[in-house]
């Protein structure tokens, strides 16, 4: 087991690259690990976390009442810069989504980060920055912001710098909550059944 996997299994936070920005990743199902990330980022508790998962099966394991086109959407765009909001089922701990009826799912396209998610189970992975600051794009700057106390992987070349598009498909109509790399037009071209 490498040091990063070990740190994740022990409930520590680590800095990992995605195809958008660096994330501060930790065990999603460990309250202590999630509390630690909120504290590190100085993030308000009312800002819910997403579940970073590795497969469509993982999404289905933590959601309910999913739209019929979910598999088609997954196949078209994931792994990739898309966060999907769905209705949460009873397996989603309140410390992830603040007890909201919904939860976000992200499947990062970076191969090493995805491998850690597969090995250790769902992770939270908010952007690696202090709350209110710009998203983390440069590994050394992130380490400086967190007093060089976190393990991580440096891959600045993988970072495209645009946040993921947040797509809410928890209701009858899809809504884009944050415009990122992926546009509504691109989604509609690939997923015919989706209605905005």
pLDDT at 148: 80
Q: Which residues contact 176 (CB under 8 A, 6 or more apart)?
A: 165, 166, 167, 168, 184, 196
pLDDT (average), residues 63-82: 97
Give me the DSSP letters along 62-126: TEES--TTHHHHHHHH-SSSEEEEEEE-TTS-HHHHTT-SEEEEE----HHHHHHHHHH--EE--
* Domain range annotation of the chain: 3-190
The reply to whether CATH 3.40.630.30 applies to domain 3-190 is no
Encode pLDDT of 6-23 as tens digits.
Answer: 999 999 999 999 999 999
Q: In whole angstroms, give the CA distance from residue 184 to residue 100.
A: 25
Q: How far apart are CA 27 and CA 1, in angstroms?
A: 16
pLDDT tens digits for range 93-109: 999 998 899 999 999 99
Read off the pTM.
Answer: 0.94
């Amino acid at each position: 087991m490498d040091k990063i996997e070990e740190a994740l299994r022990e409930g520590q936070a680590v800095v990992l690259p995605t195809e958008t920005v660096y994330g501060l990743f930790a065990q999603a199902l460990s309250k202590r690990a999630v509390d630690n990330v909120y504290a590190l980022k100085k993030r308000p508790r009312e800002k819910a976390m997403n579940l970073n998962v590795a497969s469509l099966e993982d999404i289905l394991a933590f959601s309910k009442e999913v739209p019929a086109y979910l598999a088609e959407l997954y196949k078209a765009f994931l792994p990739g810069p898309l966060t999907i909001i769905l209705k949460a089922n009873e397996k989603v701990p309140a410390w992830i989504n603040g007890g909201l009826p919904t939860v976000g799912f992200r499947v990062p396209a970076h191969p090493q980060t995805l491998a850690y998610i597969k090995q250790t189970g769902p992770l939270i992975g908010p952007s690696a920055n202090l709350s209110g600051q710009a998203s983390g794009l440069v590994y050394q700057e992130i380490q400086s912001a967190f007093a060089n106390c976190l393990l991580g992987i440096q891959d600045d070349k993988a970072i495209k710098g645009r946040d993921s598009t947040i797509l809410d498909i928890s209701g009858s109509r899809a809504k884009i909550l944050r415009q990122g790399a992926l546009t509504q037009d691109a989604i509609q071209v690939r997923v015919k059944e989706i209605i905005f």
